[in-house]
Structure 1
Amino acid sequence: MAKAVLLTKAGNLHPLSILDRLTKDFIQEDFIFSHGFTNFDILLNRMNTLSATSKGNMLPVLTMYPGGDCSFINTLKEKSNLLTEIKDDEQPTLSLLKEVILPGILGLNQADQAEAVSYSEDLPAALQAVEDGRYALAFIIL
């Protein structure tokens, strides 16, 4: 089931700077939300499609939403060294986010994460909370 990882702060980085730092290990594409986030099913289907590899494995895929109508789908490259850093086989995308991206790119250690990170399975409400300014950004994970 998909969920949103909501951040009250994103370090000192602009969302485009975060994307720039992810390009080494992730293939990126834009996704435009319709008004009211009514095309969530299309986003989730796209994320599922991108996560499947030719070998039958699943790659971590996460979508960054900084507000507005544009979000950014990030698919881990099949040859990325980050694959070796994923410790949780049950939730590899969440593991990658918490253990690599949040501390390594956003500078959020475990104490910062405990304070700044929330989770929601109500994706439209979570993105609306970002849109309303209650959160700095959200990552949608499968």
Structure 2
Amino acid sequence: MPQLRLTAWVCLALTPGAIYLQYRTFPTSWYEEGANVAGLVMAAFYVSTFLLLHRNRRILQLLKPLAAFGRTALTNYLGQTAILVVILFLFDLKQKVSVSETTLIALCIYAVQIPLSFLWLKRFRMGPMEWLWRLLTYGKRIPIRK
């Protein structure tokens, strides 16, 4: 695991410089360009850090509530999209939301969806969209209730 630790620390150290380089190279729309150097560095940091954390039992216990969120991933993804569309159009925020505001909105959505996913899976085997996806894929009714 020393290679993973080294990768995580090097990528963490390179992230601010990569973000700055990205911003200087594409100052008007640096986060939308295809050549996203900062995104690659940060992705390597995220993956290496996740793999390191995944080896720690205490961390795994803390992350356990996210299991339900992952098991209802399609439902949550479509739900996030619907919520964002409603928020952006209801408050006429198209093209007016900053990166920090977007992050705050996303965190609020997660704060609602994570407990809802946990509660949903106490009574059902899968999320509603996962159930519909399987129904359409297999062409037969699959029980959703536990």
TM-score (norm 1): 0.26
Structure with the higher fraction of residues in helix conformation: 2
**Structure with higher strand content:** 1
